Amino acid sequence: MIEVRGVSFSYDGAAAVREVNATIGRQQLVALTGPNGSGKSTLLKMLARVLAPASGVIAFEGRDIGAWAPKEYAKRVAYMPQDADPAFPMRAIDVVVSGRAPFLGRFEWESDSDYEAASRALATCDASDLADRYLDEMSGGERKRIFLARVLAAEPKLILLDEPLASLDLLHVQQVSALLREIVTRTEATVVYATHDLNWAAAYCDRMLVMQNGALAFDAPPAELMRPDVVRRLFGFDARVVGGWIVPGV
Amino acid sequence: MIRAIVVLVVILLIAIIAAATFGTATVSWRGVLAGDVTARTVMLDIRLPRVLLAALVGAALAAAGVSFQSLLRNSLADPFILGVSGGAACGAAIVTALGLARLPGVVSVVAFVGAIVATAAVIVLARRREYIDPTRLLLSGLVLNALFTAIILIAYALAPESDLTMALRWMMGTLFGATWSDVLVLLGFVIVTFAVLVAIAGDLRMLAFGEDDAKSRGVDVERIKLIGFGAASIVTGAAVAVSGIIGFVGLLVPHLIRLIWRRDFRALLPLSALGGAILLVLADLASRVALPSGELPIGAFTAILGVPFFLSLLRRGR
């Protein structure tokens, strides 16, 4: 579905992503992990067309993403940045329905069918009861579900999430992880999400990509990553595997 | 939204009629209809253009405030903080220092040019490569304001003493001496700006979620920033040119509307424009009738009328 070939990017001369190659197919849950500053966010932003690669090519459905009309691309690929809190107070339903924006003409307002799509997205995220609440009165976990619903409202084929599990408590990490799995199953979309949490990622995803200093250092199913030698090489600490989970120590 | 707009339009019409009816001269609509020359002059050539100009200035400043606040994702942004009004005031002060303030129209034109130059300067300062950084934009505006204030002080120190009263009145904001041609010119600016802002309202709404998010949803972020900033600055310049410096409207009105109406961001633009018009018509009326003779600065009344209302809403809300 999306193909990354020799893609690099640098900020003010400092390389952030170097020569990344990867191909991601349909209906997959892909975790993108690696240390801070390893280039996860930058790679996601390039996939989302927020940044243009300095070199290399990204092709979506066989076509260079730069050649897609921005709105046509946005109908198929939805992106959730790390912080998308609106600058002004908004109701959840208005936040979610704004995810339909790529489908609207310049002077067009959302129709009933857009609100139906928004309601379906809220239901998928188990957040129907939050529809009329204001975002600034919600907990972090509730807000996260609203933003996931906003992404789903466009009914995209590819969903890119930057740190959807960050700053959530354990219960919500589990709930959102399970929700991502369910989104892939129910909507047949592919979800690529950046995360720091190896264990939760391994428990739910089909495939793990690990970035290191801007390069793609590992690309395989989670079972292959969950080995002491691989963890040592990629993350630099000694670990054991207990019941399929990585734990520190030898 | 339609209901809220209708309510505000009705309030605005009542305010306009009241403001045209009351004033220091005792004339009546009956006199106008009866063909009384004094009544006709006072009502139709002095009061009515002034009241309508107040409405237009209020609408312009409030709409500009909405645009600046959403572009910068900052509810404190307004034409004054960003240096747009400061640039206009600076131009007017220089003209006064040169002794040219008495030539008709000169202050207005130069104030307009000053606003545009200030906007361009702020954008250039805040722009790195192709990107306008909102924080740098606010900071550049603040710093330029300090420079403008310095120039204004020097210009007034050098200005002919006989022109100082007029200059001071302009700095405090006044709609004294409004003409029908002022009304028509500003009406043109307000209509065009409003059309432009309505056309980009959907994009401004998406910008509230951040620039990366908006970009990923197909919004041409840098272009929208230039259009929104340019349109808001031009209409601010046009408003300041005819009214002098009237503070607070661009900041206060969009906040007020947001406290009352939080449903859809795109409704903010028409509702704020109407709210700004109502506030300024009432403030102008108050500034004219507060003293038995003479006038008080209208800017003082926008604050006196607006602040208690604002604070009560703020306390009642969450």
Q: DSSP for A173-213?
A: HHHHHHHHHHHHHHH--EEEEE-S-HHHHHHH-SEEEEEET
Q: Tell me which of A219-233, B111-125, B294-308 is least confident.
A: B294-308
Written as six digits, the tokens of B200 are: 């980009």
Contact list, B199 vs chain A (CB under 8 Å):
106-107
Q: For an interface test with B, give the residue of A12, A72, A85, A88 to mutate (most B CBs within 10 A).
A: A88
The CA distance from A43 to the nearest CA of chain B, in Å, is: 13
State which residue of chain B sits closest to A88, comparing Cα positions: B208
Q: What is the mean pLDDT of residues A226-237?
A: 85
Backbone angles phi, psi at B132, to 5 degrees: -95, 115
Is the whole model's pTM more than 0.90, yes or no? Answer: no
Q: Of B71, B3, A121, which Cα lies nearest the Cα of A110?
A: A121
- The model's pLDDT over A130-179, given as tens digits with 9 standing for 90+, comes to 999 998 889 888 898 999 999 999 999 999 999 999 878 888 899 899 99
Q: What is the pLDDT of residues B139-161, one digit of tens each?
A: 888 899 899 999 988 988 888 88
Residues of A in contact with B217 (CB under 8 A): 71, 74, 78-79, 99, 101-102
DSSP state of B129: T
Q: How far off is chain B from A78, nearest CA to CA, in Å?
A: 7
Q: Which residues of A touch B266 (CB under 8 A)?
A: 109
B130 pLDDT tier (thresholds 50, 70, 90): low
DSSP string across A166-181: TT--HHHHHHHHHHHH
The average pLDDT across A33-57 equals: 93
Contact B212 A81 (CB under 8 A): yes
Cβ A198 vs Cβ A246: under 8 Å: yes
Q: In what order do the strands lie in the sheet with A207-212?
A: A77-80, A158-162, A190-194, A29-33, A207-212, A215-220
Mean pLDDT of A94-118: 91
Q: Is the pLDDT of residue B129 over 80?
A: no
- From the CA of A105, how many Å to the nearest CA of chain B? 9
pLDDT, tens digit, 9 for 90 and up, residues B21-42: 888 777 788 888 888 888 888 8
What tokens were used for B36? Answer: 């009384």
**pLDDT value, residue B317:** 58
Per-residue buried b or exposed e for A193-226, using 16+ beta carbons within 10 Å of the residue's own CB? bbbebbebbbbbbbbbbbbbebbbebbeebeebb
Partner-chain contact A102 B215, CB within 8 Å: no
CB B189 within 8 A of CB B238: yes
Instruction: Say yes or no for a CB contact (<8 Å) between B262 and A134.
Output: yes
Mutation for testing the A interface, residue in B67, B72, B213 having most A CBs under 10 Å: B213
Spatial separation of the C-alpha atoms in residues B264 and B202, rounded to whole Å: 10
Which has more confidence, A107 or A28? A28
Residue A7: in which H helix or E strand, if any? Answer: strand A2-11
Q: Which two tokens stand for residue B56?
A: 């237009």
State pLDDT tens for residues A194-219: 998 888 999 999 999 999 999 999 99
Rg over CA atoms, chain B: 20
Q: What mean pLDDT, rounded, does chain A reach?
A: 91
Cβ neighbours of B263 in A, within 8 Å? 91, 94
Q: How confident is the model at residue A21 (pLDDT cuts 50, 70, 90)?
A: very high
- Domain limits, chain B: 2-317
CATH entry, B2-317, from 1.10.3470.10, 3.90.1200.10, 3.40.50.720, 1.20.58.390: 1.10.3470.10
C-alpha distances out from residue B34 to B37, B49, B76, Å: 9, 20, 50
CA distances from B153 to A98, B123, B260 (A): 48, 25, 40
Q: Which helix (H) or strand (E) holds A32?
A: strand A29-33
Single-letter code of the amino acid located at B29: W
Rounded Cα distance, A44 and B111, in Å: 46
The C-alpha atoms of residue B287 and residue B224 are separated, in whole angstroms, by 38
**Cα radius of gyration (chain A):** 18
Nearest residue in chain B measured CA to CA from A136 = B318
A174 CB near a chain B CB, below 8 Å?
no
CB contact under 8 A, B263 and A94: yes
Determine the Cα–Cα distance for residues A41 and B115; give it in Å rounded to an integer.
39
pLDDT exceeds 50 at position B80: yes
Q: Which residues contact A56 (CB under 8 A, 6 or more apart)?
A: A4, A5, A6, A7, A8, A19, A20
Terminal-to-terminal C-alpha distance of chain A = 40
* Least confident stretch, B13-17, B58-62, B205-209: B205-209
Q: Do B264 and A88 touch (CB under 8 A)?
A: no
From the list A197, A180, A210, A206, the residue with the least C-alpha distance to A80 is A180
Tell me the shortest Cα–Cα distance from A164 to chain B, in angstroms: 14
Task: Compare A217 and B132 and report the one with higher pLDDT.
Answer: A217
Q: Say whether residue A78 is in contact with chain B using an 8 A CB cutoff.
A: yes
CA distance B113 to B138: 21
Please, what is the average pLDDT of chain B? 87
Portion of chain B with pLDDT greater than 90, in percent: 34
ipTM score assigned to the predicted complex? 0.91
**Distance to chain A for B154, nearest Cα, Å:** 39
Task: Answer yes or no: is pLDDT of B318 > 70.
Answer: no
Confidence of residue B100 (pLDDT cuts 50, 70, 90): confident
Tokens 């849950």, residue located: A29
Residue pair B198/B244 in contact by the 8 Å Cβ criterion: no
* pLDDT classification of B223: cutoffs 50, 70, 90: very high
pLDDT value, residue A208: 94
B201: pLDDT strictly greater than 70: yes
What is the predicted pLDDT for the residue at A42? 95
CA nearest neighbour of A144 among A193, A75, A212, A102: A193
Q: Give pLDDT tens digits for B246-298.
A: 878 888 899 888 888 766 778 899 999 999 999 999 999 999 888 877 788 88
